[in-house]
Amino acid sequence: MIRTEFQPPFGEMIENIKIEEMKKFIINDFETFWQKGCGDGSIDFYVDGKKQSTLMIEPNVKYGIYLNYTDHRNQEEWLSLSDMNNLDQVAETANEIYASIGLFLAKEIAWKGIKEFLQTGERSQDIEWVKPNIIPEDGNY
């Protein structure tokens, strides 16, 4: 049995969030929803009660959304990538959490990855993903 847990930037965890509700938070209400509370969120994906993967959602009103994917089955971490040349400059995503600007995706592209994650628990092939070891010393993730 598949189950998801969305931890929004404020309020209680939402179990098995509906795709359309999540889309509203990512696309329609992006500027207001993510400015509340801690400013970021995460989705855990479970199969038969065992956590398979986690998708961290790190928004920035100017740059978009940075996604951080962890596969708990093999302990792999992957970062969304939009611009390899902008990894040494950082922007705040949530309360005093900074990430390289080159990791932020347009919200419409990030939505594709979030939607697929909610359905499968996997990384979307519509997004370029990189390992954290490519982040330069001046960057962050």
Prediction pTM value:
0.96
Give the CA-trace dihedral at 44, 120, 72, 140, to 10 degrees: -70
Q: In the structure encoding, which two tokens stand for residue 95, read together? A: 């309360």
Give the residue among 65, 128, 75 at the shortest CA–CA distance from 99: 65
Burial class of 127 by CB neighbour count within 10 A (0 to 12, 13 to 18, 19+): buried
* Residue 7, domain member (yes or no): yes
pLDDT tens digit sequence for 79-134: 999 999 999 999 999 888 899 999 999 999 999 999 999 999 999 999 999 999 99
* Residue 26, domain member (yes or no): yes
pLDDT tens digit sequence for 48-86: 999 999 999 999 999 999 999 999 999 999 999 999 999
Give the residue among 52, 62, 68 at the shortest CA–CA distance from 103: 68
* Residue 6, domain member (yes or no): yes
* Residue 76, domain member (yes or no): yes
Q: What is the DSSP letter of 20?
A: H
* Residue 105, domain member (yes or no): yes
Its domain, for residue 54, covers: 2-134
Q: Taking the alpha carbons of 25, 107, 19, 7 in that order, is the dihedral positive or negative?
A: negative
